[in-house]
């Protein structure tokens, strides 16, 4: 099992190197000229060329990549073009804000995903199963930018239960309660479709397990349906549940991109959006890289967890 885990870690490092090159190359080949963006309207072509040289944009791609990588390992992500401050300063806080949002949405995805899966898979073809399946279908098809605005209108404007935006604005009265109030709607919005996917996949696993002989044996021994679902089959459902939940980390990031914009949540997604709009390529690189790292590491953790949970793979 240790070998399996070491293999996975090694593969993860390779993936990260690949990701860093793709991020670097993608921005390098996207249309638009960084030098001109920096110098703005009215800069002469000579000035633009001079700056291109100064920034090293005229050197071979691999050499540029190598320098960029070395700087990266020192924690130097370059300087933001639009803001004039180091990228690492800009995105450090954003990563935590995003992780908070991600953590909350992941918690919702996992807990409610499992709950709904157990309630519908465990009671296959019951009315509850049908209702939950319908609800999940609905959740899976709601785009986050639409759901977010609708939730804001209902719970923010009409009912005034939750604030509209403003987390991250500077004042001294931040309490856990206030953060939580700001967090709930974006977390629900981000989690919605992932939650539905997790619930649907795990539901099938439950249905499969429910037909197994050991479940019949448990029934014959007189165990309650609730106990069968929550104890007996749960252990065998968990590995596939963990795998699908781990995969959701990536989807959660893409939903978070939308909900961060809708709720003006000061995370990496909002910063990425601002970076793209202002053509601030060091910021875009930094954001994409941060997202990729969290995604890859998240999947690694899910893999390790599912190895640990599955007796057949423990070795």
- Contacts with other proteins in 296-315 (CB under 8 A)? 304, 308, 314
Q: 206 to 225, contacts with other proteins by CB under 8 A?
A: none
CB of 1 to other proteins, least distance (A): 6
Distance CA 226, CA 239 (A): 20
Residues 6 or more apart whose Cβ sits within 8 Å of residue 189: 144, 147, 148, 151, 255, 258, 259, 262, 263
CB of 263 to other proteins, least distance (A): 7
Residues 6 or more apart whose Cβ sits within 8 Å of residue 3: 315
The size of the interface with other proteins (CB under 8 A), counted in residues, is: 72
Q: Is 60 in the site for other proteins (CB under 8 A)?
A: no
Which of 29, 40, 127, 211 is the binder for other proteins (CB under 8 A)? 40
Q: Token digits for 41?
A: 């309207």
Residues 6 or more apart whose Cβ sits within 8 Å of residue 237: 117, 202, 205, 206, 209
Q: Is 156 in the site for other proteins (CB under 8 A)?
A: yes
Q: Is 274 in the site for other proteins (CB under 8 A)?
A: yes
Which of 271, 285, 299, 306 is the binder for other proteins (CB under 8 A)? 271
Q: Is 56 in the site for other proteins (CB under 8 A)?
A: no
Distance CA 195, CA 202 (A): 11
Of 233 and 259, CB closest to other proteins: 259
Which of 135, 184, 276, 297 is the binder for other proteins (CB under 8 A)? 276
Residues 6 or more apart whose Cβ sits within 8 Å of residue 65: 21, 24, 25
Q: Is 234 in the site for other proteins (CB under 8 A)?
A: no
Cβ atoms of 110 and 120 within 8 Å: the answer is no
Which of 26, 153, 161, 231 is the binder for other proteins (CB under 8 A)? 153
Of 215 and 302, CB closest to other proteins: 302
Q: 78 to 117, contacts with other proteins by CB under 8 A?
A: 79, 82-85, 90, 92-94, 96-97, 99-100, 103
Cβ atoms of 279 and 32 within 8 Å: the answer is yes
Q: Is 48 in the site for other proteins (CB under 8 A)?
A: yes
């Amino acid at each position: 099992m240790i070998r399996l885990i070491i293999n996975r870690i090694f593969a993860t490092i390779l993936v990260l190197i690949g990701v860093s090159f793709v991020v670097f190359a993608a921005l390098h080949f996207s249309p638009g000229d960084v030098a001109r963006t920096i110098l703005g309207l009215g800069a002469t072509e000579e000035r633009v060329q001079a700056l291109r040289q100064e920034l090293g944009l005229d050197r071979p791609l691999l050499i540029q990549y190598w320098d960029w990588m070395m700087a990266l390992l020192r924690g130097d992500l370059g300087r933001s073009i639009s803001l004039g401050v180091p990228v690492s300063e800009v995105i450090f806080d954003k990563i935590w804000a995003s992780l908070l949002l991600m953590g909350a949405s992941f918690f919702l995805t996992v807990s409610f995903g499992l709950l709904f899966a157990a309630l519908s898979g465990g009671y296959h073809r019951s009315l509850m199963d049908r209702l939950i399946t319908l609800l999940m279908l609905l959740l899976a098809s709601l785009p986050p930018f639409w759901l977010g605005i609708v939730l804001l209108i209902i719970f923010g404007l009409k009912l005034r239960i939750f604030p509209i935006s403003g987390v991250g604005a500077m004042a001294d009265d931040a309490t856990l309660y206030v953060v939580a109030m700001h967090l709930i709607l974006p977390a629900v919005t981000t989690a919605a479709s992932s939650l539905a996917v997790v619930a649907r996949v795990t539901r099938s696993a439950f249905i499969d397990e429910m037909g197994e002989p050991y479940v019949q044996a448990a029934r014959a021994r007189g165990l309650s349906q609730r106990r069968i679902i929550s104890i007996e089959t749960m252990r065998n459902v968990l590995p596939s549940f963990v795998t699908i939940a781990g995969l959701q980390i990536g989807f959660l990031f893409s939903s978070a991109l939308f909900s961060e914009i809708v709720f003006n949540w000061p995370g990496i997604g909002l910063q990425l959006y601002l970076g793209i709009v202002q053509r601030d390529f060091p910021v875009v690189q930094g954001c994409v890289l941060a997202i990729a790292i969290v995604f890859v590491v998240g999947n690694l953790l899910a893999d390790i967890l599912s190895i640990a949970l599955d007796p057949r793979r423990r070795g």
